[in-house]
Amino acid sequence: MKNKFLYYPIIIGILLLIFDQWSKVYVKTHFNLSEEVNVMGSWFKLHFLENYGMAFGIEFGGSWGKIILTLFRIIFCGVIIYYISTLIKAKSHLGYTISWTMILVGALGNIIDSVFYGVIFSASDNWSVAQFMPANGGYASWFHGSVVDMLYFPLVRGTFPTWFPMWGGESFEFFRPVFNVADATISIGFVLILLFQNDFSKQNAPKEDVVLEDEI
């Protein structure tokens, strides 16, 4: 391929964004709100929730907070797009470029929900599934859509012993948050950068530094 630094990130980014939106639209139009199905035993489930705020169900500042959060995400994406373009031009480590592309795609995936879903879908509830492009209009205005979450991994469930400080006798669950493909994509991108930063930095180092080391 002529320029893998350009094509690979674009192809991977498009595929991830399509998968994210497909999973959200499928769940939105096939599941009642709070409906849950087992995928792999009891440790991996699809559990349909809607998140009005940030990742993993965190909310921020009501209606105006929602607009501010979405605008911040859009600006953040613009900055990342510019940064990725500089990485591609510099032919930086391909894994590093793809990691940032994953972060970008995850942010874009949740922006699409926030900006468009309130307009193009009817409301989800516990008794019926949402309709795409309903005749009476969507459930919210532009920029006020809810993010669709569905991935649920209750890997460990139990009860704290009675002698345990603060939470003694209370039940616990790991991993409790319900999230989506976009959230996972962002998290994986950051984890890859943290785990392989040494390998990435070696290739991203200025070439003149490498020449000086060889001469020494």
| Residue-wise pLDDT tens digits, 120-139 | 999 999 999 999 999 999 99
Please give the Cα distance from 28 to 150 (Å, whole number): 9
Identify which has the larger pLDDT, 168 or 204: 168
Q: Count structural domains, the chain.
A: 1
The band of 59, judged by pLDDT with boundaries at 50, 70 and 90, is low
Angle ∠(157,158,164) on CA atoms, nearest 5: 135
Active site residue: 183, 199, 209, 214, which one? 183
For residue 74, pLDDT beyond 80: yes
Q: Is 183 a catalytic residue?
A: yes
Per the prediction, the chain carries an average pLDDT of: 88
Q: Assess contact for 135 and 158: CB atoms under 8 A.
A: no
Condensed to tens digits (0 to 9), the pLDDT of residues 93-111 reads 999 999 999 999 999 999 9
The band of 209, judged by pLDDT with boundaries at 50, 70 and 90, is very low
pLDDT of residue 44: 96
Active site residue: 125, 149, 199, 209, which one? 149
Residue span of the structural domain in which 182 resides: 4-215
Identify which has the larger pLDDT, 205 or 153: 153
